[in-house]
A = this chain, B = another copy of it.
Amino acid sequence: MRDHFEIRDGDVAGRIGELDVPRAGVTVETPALMPVVNPNIITVSPARLESEFGAQILITNSYIIHKNDDLREEALDVGLHEMLGFDGAIVTDSGSFQLAEYGEISVTTREILQFQHDVGTDIGTPVDIPTPPDVSREQAERELAVTEEALRDAEDVDTGEMLVNAPVQGSTYPDLREEAGRAAYATELDVFPVGAVVPLMNAYRYDDMVDAVAGAKRGLGRDAPVHLFGAGHPMMFALAAAMGCDLFDSAAYALYARDGRYLTVRGTEHLEDLEYLPCSCPICAEHSPEDLRAAAGEEQERLLAEHNLHVSFEELRRVKQAIRTGNLIELVEERARSHPAMLDGYRALLDHADQLEREDPVSKGSFFALSAESARRPEVRRHHGRLDRLEASGEVLLTQGGTPKGDRFDAAWRVVPPFGPFPRALSETYPLTAQVPDRTDRAAYEAAAEGVARLAEANPDTVFVLAHDGWPETALARVPDGVELEPLDGVSPDGTSADDADETP
């Protein structure tokens, strides 16, 4: 039990949490975005990050400070909070990134954790090995063993009230991520960064990222606060939050600004390509694209960085509101349409629907069916699981609408794609209150047919009649032979009306 992290609300595997950071004396509400502050180049001052953007937590790099005589002396002398001018929680990285980039660094886990403690870090980090994607399994295992040794070293350091990160590595091997998550969770350490996913994000491999995170999450306890290390693009916050990530860090806001790039929740634009500013943040409300292009180097960089922060914190608030409302998947559905790689990420997420289902609340706002993917949502899986246990006896009509004339049944159940059948008594319960499109897609019909099959299997002695509005062949093929089919009025018996309205060309 991690008593410094409390989950207040949840949706899918995402959650609103409270991370107590005792050394800073603050409670950080998660999901939280930690702006990355480079102590050598301050684009937006930490004081403004706090007052104008609402940042409760930031991250900086203890190794850069340790390596620079002036910064080190200042940090040891006045402490990081005074040096940066920030009252919130300060996380420090250890130099693992530099290790991965340059092959070696000059400090050990014990040394850097002690240094982090000495400069007043609130959440410190050992020296783990960020194993890149696609390495041999042998390399991934060998490096994971070194990371796990670093975690043990970290446990031995007396860090007082400072919380300590326990990074989860394992490259692109989901089972190693799971094992690493389990090992990290078994330590005394406090916060769990899923590491080395930046190369996946840079290569738009969001599906592989999802698989890596899902692996780590399986190993970690539900009460473990998880940091998706390097996730700074607002486009992916909803997806990452839905998987159960609680902390993000953004260097992107500043790095992209330096390069003339403008973040949106739909991707990244080059300032030079914009004829209109698709945003109404205080920067965009006050400036035209021409203004921004005409701004001098540092001024332009600051303006873009502020826009980038605004759009990032805005998306974070949107994600939190979606968790409160219980429509986080609907937000993920939307973000999945920002890039084909994000769609891959969402489709990969749905591969883990059973895993998500174990955390997803049983009841929430309103289920919106928004795509063929919606038929694979955890709520549909859960309903199908329930159909295995529902009893129906005698002659039961399963109907999408009216009752076929002249027939008499012991019971009449409703059928709604993508869920399938349910007794009318459940009509007002989540997710069966769903809003679904009139133009049903094939995946939804097929999922409904799957529901019919599950119910029929669970009640082998019951006679079922399915009155349908013209299901496509692929759905009817999933209805067991024993179920009698009755087309509803206005529908031809071969189901062509639904085929015609289908999503296929």
Contacts and interface: CB of A to CB of B under 8 A. Distances in A.
Interface of A: 52, 207, 266, 273-282, 284-285, 310-311, 313-314, 317-318, 320-321, 324-325, 330-331, 333-341, 343-344, 347-348, 368-373, 375-376, 380-381, 384, 418, 435-439, 441-443, 446-447, 450, 474, 501, 503-505
B341 A330 contact: no
Contacts of A371: 337, 343, 371-373
Contacts of A376: 503-505
Given A276-B324, A336-B337, A376-B505, 15 more contacts: A207-B438, A276-B321, A278-B318, A334-B337, A336-B370, A337-B337, A337-B370, A337-B371, A339-B435, A341-B435, A343-B437, A375-B503, A384-B505, A443-B504, A443-B505
Contacts of A337: 330, 333-334, 336-337, 370-371
A473 to B, nearest CB: 9
B344 A437 contact: yes
Contact of A504 (B275, B335, B375): B375
Contact of A275 (B278, B321, B369, B372): B321
A280 B310 CA distance: 6
- Copies of this polypeptide in the complex: 2
Give the residue among A277, A368, A438, A474 with the most B Cβ atoms within 10 A.
A438
Contacts of A436: 340
A316 to B, nearest CB: 8
A295 B436 CA distance: 37
B334 A207 contact: no
Contact of A450 (B276, B331, B446, B505): B505
B340 A370 contact: yes
A193 B427 CA distance: 41
Contacts of A503: 347, 372-373, 375-376, 443
A280 B505 contact: no
Given A281-B285, A311-B280, A368-B339, A505 B447 contact: yes
A447 B505 CA distance: 6
